[in-house]
Amino acid sequence: MDSKTGLCGVACSEQLQQEFQHLRSQWWWLLLFGILLAVCGSAAIIFPPLTVVTTFAAMVVLGVTLMVAGLATIVTAFWAGKWSGTLVQLLIGILYVVVGLMITDTPVRSAVAMTLFVAAFFIVAGAFRVIAALVVRFPHWGWALLNGVITFLLGMVIYRHFPQSGVWVLGLLVGLEMLFHGWTWIMLSLAIRQIPEKTA
């Protein structure tokens, strides 16, 4: 058992070495990709028109994704043949397609409805985090308390500006995700660049 684990560890280590060597030689592509994501995310956050466009684009992408997943589910249900879950899978696939069509046909209403859901989720999640931090008092519970308060207040701000917030909230969230994702790739590329050639 130990010998197998050792062989697996050596094989995995060699594979990682090859991957890191390849990434090290192409680190600047990862850096450019991270910068592009960070710039697009910042633009979506700073410029209101882009935030609105990002919101609508996010809803269209969500609708198309649901339709593709629904069609794939329907095809799989027929492809798998007759079994006890065929009808359930077929109904789920049809539901995906219908919801996807509804979202793509009415992206504005869908964005507003999704924004209300996000606001409710933030309020409930923030309240739970605050209560858990105050009751349990686990190590560094103050950070969890701060996180819960911020999440709760963000949900209240979105709800107070509803339905006007429906046209910018999702775009803002997508922009923030792109910004942090971009910075993740930037830091990863810089870390890969610093790997020595012999140990890469």
Domain assignment of residue 91, given as a range: 55-105
CA nearest to 75, candidates 60, 61, 92: 92
pLDDT of amino acid 109? 82
In the DSSP assignment, the letter for residue 195 is: S
Q: Which residues of the chain have pLDDT under 70?
A: 1-23, 48, 80-86, 196-200
Q: Is residue 13 part of a domain?
A: no
85: exposed, middle or buried (C-beta count within 10 Å: 0-12, 13-18, 19+)?
exposed
Q: ω before 107 within 30° of 0 (cis)?
A: no
Q: How many domains does the chain have?
A: 1
Q: Is residue 68 part of a domain?
A: yes
Q: Is residue 39 part of a domain?
A: no
Question: What is the pTM for the complete model shown?
Answer: 0.62
Q: Is residue 94 part of a domain?
A: yes
In the DSSP assignment, the letter for residue 163 is: T
Q: Is residue 2 part of a domain?
A: no
Spatial separation of the C-alpha atoms in residues 75 and 175, rounded to whole Å: 34
126-176 tens-digit pLDDT: 899 899 888 877 777 788 888 889 889 988 988 888 877 777 777 777 788
